[in-house]
Structure 1
C-alpha cells in the first residue's frame, strides 16, 4: 500500500515509521525545509512542498496513493489536503488529524475526510474503555460507512457469559471483530465462548448500537435504552 503523509513533524514521522515497519510505501510532504529530515527515516520518500497546493500534489502523484494522511498541526491545512486528495485525485481513503476539538464538526465527508483522528477524543475514549463495564463505548467513527468501532466489557451477570460466539444472534450488520482478554487478543471464532470481563470490539451501525448493548448487558447496568457513551474519535 502506498501512503502519502502531509506534515513531516513528530506525528507524521512516527506514523511513517510505523507504516514502513509494516511493509508499506510512504511519502512524507512538508513545506518547511527544517522538517525534511530524510536521515531520520531513510526508507521513506520525501518532498519539500506545500501539500495545500494542487501542483505539489500533482508532483507527488497522489493519484497513485491508496491512503492520504493529513497530519499537520494546522486544521485548515488538513481539511484542504483531504478535500484535494478526495476530489482531485480520487484517493480511496483519507485520514485527517484534528488539532482543536472545536473544529471536529468540520472533519466530515463534505471536506473529503473519511476518518478524523482527534487526540483529546481518543484519550477520552481510552479512559472510558478502561473503566466502563456493561456500557457501550464508541472508540472510532467510520464516517463513510455510517458505522463505528465500539467496545463493551462483558459484565459478570451478562446472559451471554459462557455462550459460544456462533450461538449468538447479533443485531443487524453488527460484526464482532476481536475479543480482548488478559492473555491477549482472541479471534472471535464460532466455538469460542465469552467470559466475564471480556472486552468485545465490534463494528456496528449507529442504529444497532443500543440493541447491541441491551443484548449483552442487563438493563440494571445502564437503564433501558441508555445512549452509547460518545467518547470516540471523530464524533460530531
Structure 2
C-alpha cells in the first residue's frame, strides 16, 4: 500500500516508521526545509512541497496513493490537504489529524476526511479509561460505520460478574470485541465468565451506549 503523509514532524515521522515496519510504501511531504530529514526515516520518500497546493500534490503523484494522512500541526492545512486528495485525486482513504478540539466538527466527509484522529480526545479518553469504573468511555468513532469503540471497566456491583459473557443481554448491534484482564488480552468466549475489574471493549452505535451501560453497570447509571 502506498501512503502519503503530509507533515514530516515528529508525528508524521512516527507514523511513517510504523507503516514502513508493516511493509507499506511511504511518501513524506513538508513545505518546511528544516523538517526534511531523510536520515530520520531513510526508507521513506521525501518531498519538499506545500500539500495545500495542487501542483505540489500532482508532483507527489497522489493519484497513485491508497491513503493520504494529513498529520501537520495546522488544522487548516490538514483540511485542505484532505479535501484536495479526495476531490482532485480520488484517494480512496484519507485520515485527518485534529489538533484543536473546537475544530473537530469540520473533519467530516464534506471536507474529504474519511477518518479524523483527535489527539486531545484520545488523550482525554485514555485518562478517563484509566480512572473510571462502571462508566462507558468512548475511545474512537468509526465515522463511516456510525459506531464507536467504547470501553467499560466492569464494577463489582454489576449483576453479571461471574456469569458467562454469552448470557449477557447486550443491546442490538453491540459487539464485545476484547476483554482485558490482568494485562492479558482475551478474545471473547460465550462460555467465559466476566469478572469485576475486566476492561470490556465494544463496538456499538451511539444510540445504544446508554442501554449498554445500564445493562452492565446499573448502579453507576442510576439504575
Into which bin does the TM-score normalised by the smaller protein fall? over 0.9
Q: Which runs of 4+ in 1 moved over 4 A?
A: none
- RMSD, matched Cα: 1.7
Residue 229 of structure 1 corresponds to which residue in structure 2? none
State the number of aligned residues: 223
Distance in 2, matches of 1:173 and 1:48, equals 46
Distance in 1, matches of 2:2 and 2:169, equals 38
Q: Do the aligned partners of residues 190 and 88 (structure 1) sit closer, same or farther apart at CA in structure 2, a change above 3 Å counting?
A: farther
Residue 82 of structure 1 corresponds to which residue in structure 2? 82
Instruction: Provide TM-score, normalisation by structure 1.
Output: 0.88
CA displacement at 1:97 relative to structure 2: 1.3
Residue 32 of structure 2 corresponds to which residue in structure 1? 32
Q: Greater shift after overlay, 17-26 or 133-142?
A: 17-26
Q: Do the aligned partners of residues 45 and 190 (structure 1) sit closer, same or farther apart at CA in structure 2, a change above 3 Å counting?
A: farther
Cα pair 1:114 1:142 within 8 Å, conserved: no
Residue 222 of structure 1 corresponds to which residue in structure 2? 221
SS in 2 for 1:222: coil
Distance in 1, matches of 2:62 and 2:192, equals 43
Instruction: Provide TM-score, normalisation by structure 2.
Output: 0.92
Q: Greater shift after overlay, 124-133 or 56-65?
A: 56-65
Distance in 2, matches of 1:92 and 1:113, equals 11
CA displacement at 1:126 relative to structure 2: 0.9
CA displacement at 1:134 relative to structure 2: 0.8
Distance in 1, matches of 2:42 and 2:163, equals 50
CA displacement at 1:200 relative to structure 2: 1.0
CA displacement at 1:152 relative to structure 2: 0.6
